[in-house]
Structure 1
């Protein structure tokens, strides 16, 4: 255990988050996503897990240490519902609330068509599988920067 760091962030997850650079994509997926086969194609090469918690709970822990990229419009994305791209399921609304709270402002997630999401996931730095069992609990978060102390507000 470490002070000030969520116990959900295991050593493997912390190592990956720390190793990522500005602009690298982090993919957080539900239990139904083909995470192992997709993760083999990522920079890390294997799937990571934050087990037995919802996507929102995992993302809340991640965003406690992970900055979002403020230079792009698609730093936070969600998988679109097939056949109903405008629909935003409860799991995605929960994650949207977590992102907004972590950033201290409204930071709308961009919708990503299902197969485009798979493609983005394959190009990502890594994939983290959660215990989320609700459909469409799949998200992409692009890493931002941590400014020098003199620029922090």
Structure 2
């Protein structure tokens, strides 16, 4: 049996299949998932599982270079925003229009993970990154400025 929190085999597979810059959306129960998308549906009933539980398990196994969420989240769901910022504190954070998440971003996602969350604007975009200290560990490699700051931690 594997170590770690994340037991769902399809979600483990999805994380393992992510390449640098690939997009995973972890969404609430009401998200309109495009028919062509790789959909991992974890929802059972209202708030089971919730976003915090799913995002926490993913954060342990997934390197997020950037995290995006609706520009309405700070005003309409600040508790969720604080959770996301806490779980992915090493990532860059960007707010985007909610309509863009529902349309363009949903169609660009490599995988969409549906939770049972009843969280307004609870759609979190996770962009896959690299393990910076390991990626730039060979002698003679030089990290570009955007990664160099992560080497000093």
User: Which bin holds the TM-score, normalised by the shorter protein?
Assistant: 0.7 to 0.9
Q: How does 1:83-94 map to 2 (within 5 A)?
A: 87=75, 89=77, 90-94=79-83
> Deviation at 1:126?
0.8
Change (3 A) 1:108 1:145: closer
Q: Which runs of 5+ in 1 are unaligned?
A: 70-74
RMSD across aligned C-alpha pairs, in angstroms?
2.3
Greater Cα shift, 24-33 or 50-59: 50-59
- Whether 2:24 is the aligned partner of 1:33: answer no
Q: How does 1:85-104 map to 2 (within 5 A)?
A: 87=75, 89=77, 90-100=79-89, 103=90
Write 1 or 2 for the structure with the bigger share of helix.
2
| Matched residues, number | 132
Q: TM-score, normalised by structure 2?
A: 0.74
Q: Distance in 2 between matches of 1:98 and 1:23?
A: 19
Q: Aligned match of 1:132 in 97, 113, 117?
A: 117
Larger radius of gyration: 2
Aligned to 1:46: 38
Q: Which runs of 5+ in 2 are unaligned?
A: 138-150
User: Are the counterparts in 1 of residues 76 and 120 from structure 2 also a CA contact under 8 Å?
Assistant: no
Q: Which runs of 4+ in 1 moved over 3 A?
A: 147-150
Q: TM-score, normalised by structure 1?
A: 0.74
